[in-house]
Structure 1
Amino acid sequence: MSQSHHAAAKVPEITLAFWIIKIAATTLGETGGDAASMSMHLGYLVSTLMFAVIFLIAVIAQIRAPRFSPALYWVTIIATTTVGTTLADFADRSLGIGYTGGSALLLFLLLASLFVWHRTMGSVSVTTVATAKAELFYWVTIMFSQTLGTALGDWTADTAGLGYAGAALIFGGLLLALVAAYYTTSISRTLLFWAAFILTRPLGAVVGDFLDKPVANGGLAMSRFGASFALVAFIVICGFVFRQRPAKVAH
């Protein structure tokens, strides 16, 4: 067996700060996506195409970057969650697939991405994201998870009738259950990571909807632009307060 050594990756170390920023980023994706498609009246298709271009540029920059950059990483994450918002809304509403059909389709695509990644690279752990190919699988999987999260959040809040606050409690509770499993069981850390990563997206989706949807629909009717700017400021502050180090990758 070859001797293991460690090298710095271009993805961050998984800490509490990572999850705090991730939830804020997914909430920003919801308010930012809605601001473009609804408040700016660009529609779901145009907004999706616009954010898809930003996403592609960010991913290419991330893969070509010589070292880990927290700012570039989180810009890319925000790009995935924003395009995920408008893409899910386009599929669910404009194409008429519906929240249930959209969630099922995106879950299949996410599982297929993880399957192909595992068959190709031998692992889907973030501790193995050390090559351009692994990074590409990583970002494609994240893209599907962010889009699934939007559809799943909408399904829980609207189709299941739990409302935004009820859905937030459900997803928040599931995340707490994963935290408990992390500290009290020997369940695969990779499985727990991806489960948590996926669940933070619908949590952010319903929190974002709760902030900007009309009071009559169960929201707070905040300005989508105001909420988005506040979330950007919060993420920037977290970036300065919490030092983020690259993950250690085992070879």
Structure 2
Amino acid sequence: MPRSTPAHVATVRNKVPDPTASFWIVKVLATTVGETAADLMSETLGLGLPLTTVVMGAVLVLFLVLQFRARSYRPSVYWVTVVLISIVGTCITDNLTDGLGVPLWTSTTVFGVGLVVVFLAWHRVEGTLSIHRIDTVRREAFYWLAILFTFALGTAAGDLIGEQTGIGYFPALLLFAGGIALVALLRFGLRVDGVACFWAAYVLTRPLGASLGDLLSQPTSDGGLGIGTITTSTVFLAAILVVVGATSVRLRRSSAALTDGSVEAVRLRRSPAAD
């Protein structure tokens, strides 16, 4: 008879969400906030890019600690961490470009190579890049390192395309949306590997969200709609809270239903009528 796991031994379940429709919606919202919030703090609030990077980097470390200490997927902690990585990834690229004068093609290449190296190391150690079993510290470390590189790469590549072509925010938005649609076609139409398509879409949602954020927040004289970084950041953060809140409620209900089902199954097994 197999030995059951003692009730006092905690088990770690998958700590990241599955890529459902709500996942991608919040991901785009988070990347948009990453773009507008970085501009809000560094420019509108006058903190400057270096100080914004330090402050948000410190907050990111705090939430990464909370995320690593969790034993299952906690939507609030996870998505705050994603928003913070989006902001920090934007700041890293902007510091290299604006502060150190590193050409965008150089940073795009470096971040692209860095992401490939992370993927190769991850696959060599774990044998897969799947996000469905992020249940060890090592796998989670690979996961978040890859996420950081995708945000930095997406920011650099998006800025590179925008500056080299000068196509404007709305055409850039359509361009990256078309890229994501192509990835979806490859996945669901041609049955291309799901892991590769997931990470390709993850990279593309970064410049998509950045283009959307710039389109909404930048002045009309620069090709934007002039809504401003404060309003854009606030509205998108509120949308994230609504979606993540609904997800949290659904997860709690599912967990409660599973717990009730397990208790009922044990009761039936112990009941004399079940013999």
Normalising by structure 1, what TM-score?
A: 0.91
- 1:44 maps to 49
Shift in Å, 1:42: 1.7
Structure 1: which amino acid aligns with 2:65?
I
**Deviation by residue 1:141-180 (Cα, 9 ceiling, x = unmatched):** 1011111111111112222212111111110001111111
- 2:192 maps to 187
Which secondary structure state, in structure 1, belongs to the residue aligned with residue 16 of structure 2?
Answer: strand
**Deviation by residue 1:171-201 (Cα, 9 ceiling, x = unmatched):** 0001111111221122110000000111100
Shift in Å, 1:223: 2.0
* 1:237 and 2:242 are equivalent in the alignment: yes
* 1:34 and 2:39 are equivalent in the alignment: yes
Q: How does 1:40-79 map to 2 (within 5 A)?
A: 40-79=45-84
- 1:83 maps to 88
Which secondary structure state, in structure 1, belongs to the residue aligned with residue 231 of structure 2?
Answer: helix
- 1:3 maps to none
| Higher relative contact order structure (alpha carbons within 8 Å, sequence separation ≥ 6) | 1
Task: Give the unaligned 5+ runs of structure 1.
Answer: 1-6, 247-251
Shift in Å, 1:55: 1.3
Structure-2 separation of matches of 1:108 and 1:51:
25
Identity of aligned residues (%): 33
- 2:164 maps to 159
Structure-2 separation of matches of 1:198 and 1:52:
21
Structure-1 separation of matches of 2:48 and 2:149:
21
- 2:126 maps to 121
Give aligned pairs, total: 241
- Return structure 1 stretches of 4+ with deviation > 4 angstroms: 242-246
- 1:225 maps to 230
State the superposition RMSD in angstroms. 1.8
- 1:249 maps to none
Worse-superposed segment, 234-243 or 79-88 = 234-243
Structure-1 separation of matches of 2:99 and 2:13:
43
Shift in Å, 1:242: 4.5
Shift in Å, 1:245: 5.2
| Structure richer in strand, relative to its length | 1
8 Å contact 1:13–1:245 — kept in the other structure? no
Which secondary structure state, in structure 1, belongs to the residue aligned with residue 15 of structure 2?
Answer: strand
8 Å contact 2:13–2:71 — kept in the other structure? no
- 1:4 maps to none
8 Å contact 1:157–1:166 — kept in the other structure? no
Normalising by structure 2, what TM-score?
A: 0.83
User: Computing the radius of gyration over CA atoms, which structure comes out larger, 1 or 2?
Assistant: 2
Structure-2 separation of matches of 1:98 and 1:16:
35
8 Å contact 2:34–2:87 — kept in the other structure? yes
Q: How does 1:89-100 map to 2 (within 5 A)?
A: 89-100=94-105
8 Å contact 1:99–1:159 — kept in the other structure? no
Which secondary structure state, in structure 2, belongs to the residue aligned with residue 127 of structure 1?
Answer: coil
Structure 2: which amino acid aligns with 1:153?
G
